[in-house]
């Protein structure tokens, strides 16, 4: 009797797990390709670009993006098993040695901090009156989410995988500055023989203007956006270097002090005579 109860419980547990998003416990297949980033670093934009590259027959929107490039935090394990292979999956996880091919998109942590602050207000996790200084302290110490600090995340992935042939490093700023060139790199990395016209099409359909329009019409269908404030956008300006104007100098200095080695490694600071100096965005 006891054995039967345990067996039934195990089956029920397995059934429940199959119908919830797997998150870090996702079953990794050899042919999987992961789009990885610390939160608020351009992963959604990259997902749309990739989805429009690999699926020209479908109009990509916030309603169906998870059918093309699934989010391991929103799509159940059962549905993930049904995705055609090779799967291209979105992840924010810190270093996971099981991941095979990885496209890692990184963004200046000063811009990440600001974007994350506005995102928390959008999602009603913070009030508009919440002090940016207080949020910055939580950000610097990895208390915003379960992914650790920007430094730990970036340092972990770059330290372990940067020189691997199965690892493509993209900078958000480079994708903005040279979108065609960077998207070509992505297409080649995932094994897609994309024509110049196909690349240009994917960029046009994934522009920030287009994504804002899609957010207006289909954003409420997205589990990631449902329940957000209606007077703010998830898709914001789509630019780099906003920290120069919007981030107080004292907070910027703290970010540099805390994340210096990672910022040097990712190209956001240059090492000069032992001191890190901020590079222009």
What local confidence, expressed as pLDDT, does residue 182 receive? 98
What local confidence, expressed as pLDDT, does residue 217 receive? 82
What local confidence, expressed as pLDDT, does residue 122 receive? 86
pTM: 0.89
Question: Would you place residue 18 in the very low, low, confident or very high pLDDT band (cuts 50, 70, 90)?
Answer: low
Q: How far is CA 171 from CA 37, 103, 120, 240, in A?
A: 10, 10, 23, 10
Q: Which domains does the chain have, with CATH numbers?
A: 2-238 (3.40.50.300)
What is the secondary structure of 205-261 as a DSSP string? HTSHHHHHHHHHHHGGG-TTTTT--TTS-SS----S-THHHHS-HHHHHHHHHHHHH
Residues 39 and 147 sit within 8 Å (Cβ to Cβ): yes
Please say if the pLDDT value at position 244 is more than 70: yes
How buried is 271 (Cβ within 10 angstroms: 0-12 exposed, 13-18 middle, 19+ buried)?
Answer: exposed
Please say if the pLDDT value at position 3 is more than 90: no
Please say if the pLDDT value at position 271 is more than 80: no
Closest among 89, 189, 109, 116 to 154, alpha carbons compared: 109
Predicted confidence (pLDDT) per residue in 160-209, tens digit: 999 999 999 999 999 999 999 999 999 999 999 999 999 999 999 999 89
Please say if the pLDDT value at position 256 is more than 70: yes
C-alpha 237/C-alpha 165 separation (Å) is: 33
Predicted confidence (pLDDT) per residue in 84-139, tens digit: 999 999 999 999 999 999 999 999 999 999 999 998 998 788 889 999 999 999 99
C-alpha 77/C-alpha 258 separation (Å) is: 37
């Amino acid at each position: 009797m006891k054995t039967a109860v345990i067996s039934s419980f195990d089956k029920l547990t397995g059934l429940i797990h199959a119908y919830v998003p797997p998150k870090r416990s996702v079953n990794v297949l050899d042919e999987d390709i992961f789009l990885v980033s610390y939160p608020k670093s351009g992963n959604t934009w990259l997902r749309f670009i990739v989805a429009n590259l690999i699926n020209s027959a479908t109009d990509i929107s916030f309603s169906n993006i998870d059918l093309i490039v699934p989010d391991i935090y929103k799509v159940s394990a059962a549905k993930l098993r049904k995705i055609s292979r090779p799967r291209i999956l979105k992840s924010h996880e810190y270093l996971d040695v099981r991941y095979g091919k990885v496209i890692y998109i990184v963004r200046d942590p000063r811009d990440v901090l600001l974007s994350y602050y506005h995102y928390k207000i959008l999602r009603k996790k913070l009030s508009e009156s919440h002090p940016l200084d207080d949020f910055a302290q939580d950000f610097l110490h990895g208390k915003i989410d379960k992914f650790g600090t920007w430094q730990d995340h970036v340092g972990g992935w770059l330290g372990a995988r940067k020189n691997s042939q199965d690892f493509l490093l993209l900078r958000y700023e480079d994708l903005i500055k040279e979108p065609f060139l960077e998207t070509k790199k992505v297409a080649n990395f995932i094994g897609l023989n994309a024509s110049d016209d196909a690349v240009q099409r994917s960029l046009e359909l994934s522009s920030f203007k287009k994504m804002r329009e899609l957010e207006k019409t289909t954003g409420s269908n997205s589990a990631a956006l449902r329940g957000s404030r209606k007077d703010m956008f998830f898709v914001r300006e789509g630019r780099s270097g906003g920290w120069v104007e919007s981030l107080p100098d004292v907070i910027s200095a703290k970010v540099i002090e805390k994340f210096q080695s990672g910022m040097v490694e990712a190209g956001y600071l240059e090492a000069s005579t032992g001191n890190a100096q901020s590079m222009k965005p």
